[in-house]
Structure 1
Amino acid sequence: MTEWTDTSSALRDGLARWLDALNTTSTGHDGTSAFPWDRWKLVKDSGLLRLPFESRWGGLGADLRTTMHVLEKLGEGCRDGGLSFSVATHVASTGVPLQRFGSTRLKEVYLPKICAGDAIGAHAITEPDSGSDALNMHTTAVRDKDHFVLNGNKTFISNGPVADIFVVYARTHPAGGSLGITAFLVERGTPGFDIGDPVAKMGLHSSPLSDLYFDGCRVPADNVVGRVGWGYRVLHHVMKREILYSFAISAGAMRHRLDRCVDYANTRRQFGKNIGSYQAVAHKIVEMKIGLETSRMWLYAAAEKVMTGVESTMDIAIAKLVTSENNTASALAAIQVFGGYGYLAEYGLEQELRDAVAGTVYSGTSEIQRNRIASMLGM
């Protein structure tokens, strides 16, 4: 059983007072596909973005499990799934690698802006011809004196249209493999770096997505995150936290959905009885509960291994797979519990289903996670 410190509980409780405001501000509705700048300001003011970073950069110094605990509350209380996803992306994709691998100069210049939310972060890994095969990327970075020159394209970049700072992964050695990739910090507006228009997608509408284009983009060699050839090492560190952060948010959304369904089943009457008294309805809700608790156990157990330095690759894959698929099943079950009302946009459940499906795709598809687990089992 997980026990939380007073500090962890205080940070989680501190977020609660911001949640009503996050749900009542005017922009960023699912139907608009616009980034919710007013809600982002509330997120900044709440201190949420400061959680896992050291105090000397303006952070709160929360450990991994505490950060997840607070993000789970965000998922429970904020109905804008796109905004929550952008928060996790900002923190994990840019702040996390800079704090762990960035030079003192990079930290001094950029981490305070990331903690404050004054500069939005994103990372660029995926390419049109090498989605899940990250080591087969074709974007290149060639050394030219005190710069690297980047050429290539990136796709499916969350936060791309609004981000100010990008951690870009590019090939620096033609031989390929894990030692051929390097991570670079690239600012919006760098000559030779263009950002495509927002791309329409199924869900997470308020978290904008775009392509990135590099054409002779000159990046100072001092902007290497870590060392040349360390890109895979940086990415491995980042992806563990990206998965744990974003799916802790999913667990919070699952808890909120479960509570709604229990309340609805105990008040909605059909054929003279509350619908929760019918086994067909009750069992759906029981499965939602089991899915939630199973997901949370895997997420926090995996986090414990990461924090203690124990090998956690399989645990992360299982946690991601279990949570993403349980979240999608939970969202579909909620629509069925609510019946015709669940199908109406007014109730928000169809939006939650569209948002949940994304979790089975990003950060490595369910199929990739199963392949990874099978490989670690020796198959």
Structure 2
Amino acid sequence: MEFGLGGARSERRDAVFDGARKRLHEEPGPPREPFTRERWRAAADLGVTGLCLPGEYGGGGLGALDTALCLEAFSRGSGDTGLAFAVSAHLLACCVAVRDNAGDAARGELLPGLASGALVAANAMTEDEAGSDVSRLATTARLDGDCYVLDGVKSFASNAPAADLLVAYATTDPGLGFLGVTAFAVPRDLPGVSVGEPMAKMGLDGCPAGRVEFSGCRVPARFRLGAEGRGSAVFQGSMAWERACLPAVYLGMMEEQLRHAVEHARKRRQFGRALGDFQAVSHRLVTMKQRLEGARLLLYRACWSLDEGHSGAATDAALSKIAVSEAAVANSLDAIQVFGATGYLGAAGVERQLRDAVPSTIFSGTTEIQRELVARGLGL
């Protein structure tokens, strides 16, 4: 079993890290505003908006593991978990769905802009009353000539206020449950699409989220993703990539967080000694390192399983998402404890890392949903 990354793989990762550190890095501090187009373009110039898209459309053509490595490096280098999350949501929840399910015409029309970052994508699946139950979507779509007419409201759509394209899911046959859901790529500028203002959120400030309303929106049939009634399969395919790869942004956050905490423990003196000389502090830092490395190994394995097409890939992804998200929250709490009162202040940025970490146990399926997936993998 080889744990080394190899030359080309680590060179690519390091290039992303160096570029993000040079062009996008901001020191820890108070909450940020949602990403600007300038920062998005800087991220796109590093190739992260098209990492796993086909090379013929301008993408990187990477598998899940290399995609995750680059997202981890981008998050660590930029120091902006919100922006890294926004890029990941664009790439994994949306671009993957278009890549794998759009017809040739739509792929040619959409993928070059998505890969280059000229188009920002948002995933419009979640609804107020549906949550994790994708078989009960109130948003409907009916075929009318060569268009589908969409009506309904989506909530918690990451990137929506800044998006040019919405990957949306709607019920085309209410009697079929999850087999009656269909997926669409919806250009933002179509009549009948309305996007709300950015929601006030606990964290991930760099990633705007908003509500999306479809009111008699006529979506050309060429923008349907997959066959009618295959929306749940489209969604699960994109979620396989999102659950495996997106938590890598938290590995990057935790790596920087631990580096800052160790540096603080070396420099800060109490009772005439460096803070790190006290076992209560040094052991806490060791536990943070242990959580980080354990989560990293599980995530790399999950991405490898996805690349190899293993039957247990879904279970591996669920296990890794649990480990990464719980480590991110626990490490952020420990970092605040190491920094003490300074960690509670906005200027240090440590409390922001905690706020960014909390939603990791909710998005892409809550921790409880992930445990159900693992239980199913165990045959329960």
TM tier relative to shorter chain: over 0.9
Matching of residue 232 in structure 1 with residue 227 in structure 2: no
After TM superposition, give the deviation of residue 211 of structure 1 in Å: 0.5
Of the three residues 20, 23, 29, the one matched with 2:22 is 20
Map 1:289-300 → 2, pairs under 5 A: 289-300=289-300
Matching of residue 273 in structure 1 with residue 273 in structure 2: yes
8 Å contact kept, 2:20–2:77:
no
8 Å contact kept, 2:344–2:350:
yes
8 Å contact kept, 2:161–2:209:
yes
Residues 303-322 of structure 1 show CA distances to partners (whole Å, capped at 9, x for unaligned) of: 11111111222211111111
Map 1:36-115 → 2, pairs under 5 A: 36-115=36-115
Q: Residue 30 and residue 113 in structure 1: after superposition, are their counterparts in 2 closer, same or farther (change >3 A)?
A: farther
Distance 1:81 1:38 in 2: 17
After TM superposition, give the deviation of residue 371 of structure 1 in Å: 2.8
8 Å contact kept, 2:76–2:252:
yes
8 Å contact kept, 1:53–1:59:
yes
Matching of residue 219 in structure 1 with residue 205 in structure 2: no
Bigger shift: residues 150-159 or 280-289: 280-289
Distance 2:143 2:82 in 1: 37
After TM superposition, give the deviation of residue 35 of structure 1 in Å: 2.7
Distance 2:93 2:72 in 1: 18
8 Å contact kept, 2:88–2:246:
yes
SS in 1 for 2:160: coil
8 Å contact kept, 1:302–1:319:
yes
Matching of residue 200 in structure 1 with residue 220 in structure 2: no
After TM superposition, give the deviation of residue 374 of structure 1 in Å: 2.9
**Which residue does 2:303 correspond to in 1?**
303
Distance 1:176 1:30 in 2: 48
Distance 1:51 1:358 in 2: 24
Matched letter for residue 242 of structure 1: E
After TM superposition, give the deviation of residue 86 of structure 1 in Å: 0.5
After TM superposition, give the deviation of residue 50 of structure 1 in Å: 2.5
8 Å contact kept, 1:30–1:204:
no
Matched letter for residue 123 of structure 2: H
8 Å contact kept, 2:203–2:355:
yes
After TM superposition, give the deviation of residue 292 of structure 1 in Å: 0.5
After TM superposition, give the deviation of residue 24 of structure 1 in Å: 4.7
8 Å contact kept, 1:58–1:112:
yes
Matched letter for residue 137 of structure 1: L
Matched letter for residue 365 of structure 2: G
Matched letter for residue 82 of structure 1: G
After TM superposition, the score normalised by the length of structure 2 is 0.95
Q: How many residues align?
A: 376
Matched letter for residue 239 of structure 2: M
**Which residue does 1:316 correspond to in 2?**
317
Distance 1:155 1:305 in 2: 32
After TM superposition, the score normalised by the length of structure 1 is 0.95
Distance 2:55 2:30 in 1: 35
8 Å contact kept, 1:30–1:206:
no
Bigger shift: residues 106-115 or 262-271: 262-271
Matched letter for residue 201 of structure 1: K
Distance 1:3 1:63 in 2: 17
SS in 2 for 1:358: helix
SS in 1 for 2:135: helix
Q: Which has the higher contact order (CA 8 A, sep 6+)?
A: 2
After TM superposition, give the deviation of residue 244 of structure 1 in Å: 2.4
Distance 1:35 1:119 in 2: 14
SS in 1 for 2:25: helix
After TM superposition, give the deviation of residue 251 of structure 1 in Å: 0.7
**Which residue does 2:326 correspond to in 1?**
325
After TM superposition, give the deviation of residue 99 of structure 1 in Å: 1.2
Residues 12-57 of structure 1 show CA distances to partners (whole Å, capped at 9, x for unaligned) of: 12211332320259xxx85353333221121122222222111110
SS in 1 for 2:143: strand
Distance 1:43 1:261 in 2: 27
Distance 2:94 2:370 in 1: 23
8 Å contact kept, 1:30–1:80:
no
Residues 184-203 of structure 1 show CA distances to partners (whole Å, capped at 9, x for unaligned) of: 01011211111111110100
Residues 135-170 of structure 1 show CA distances to partners (whole Å, capped at 9, x for unaligned) of: 211111111121111111100000000000111011
8 Å contact kept, 2:156–2:209:
yes
Matching of residue 354 in structure 1 with residue 348 in structure 2: no
Matched letter for residue 293 of structure 1: E
SS in 1 for 2:319: helix
**Which residue does 2:243 correspond to in 1?**
243
After TM superposition, give the deviation of residue 354 of structure 1 in Å: 0.3
RMSD: 1.6
Distance 1:210 1:246 in 2: 20
Distance 2:199 2:211 in 1: 8
Map 1:244-263 → 2, pairs under 5 A: 244-263=244-263
**Which residue does 1:118 correspond to in 2?**
118
**Which residue does 1:371 correspond to in 2?**
372
8 Å contact kept, 2:181–2:229:
yes
Residues 56-111 of structure 1 show CA distances to partners (whole Å, capped at 9, x for unaligned) of: 10112222111111111112122221111110011112211111111111111110
Matched letter for residue 361 of structure 2: T
Distance 1:285 1:324 in 2: 18
Distance 1:373 1:67 in 2: 24
8 Å contact kept, 2:329–2:358:
yes
Distance 2:231 2:82 in 1: 27
Distance 2:151 2:34 in 1: 29
Distance 2:314 2:351 in 1: 33
Report percent identity of matched pairs.
39
Distance 1:293 1:195 in 2: 40
Matched letter for residue 63 of structure 2: D
Distance 1:374 1:95 in 2: 29
SS in 1 for 2:299: helix
8 Å contact kept, 1:53–1:60:
yes
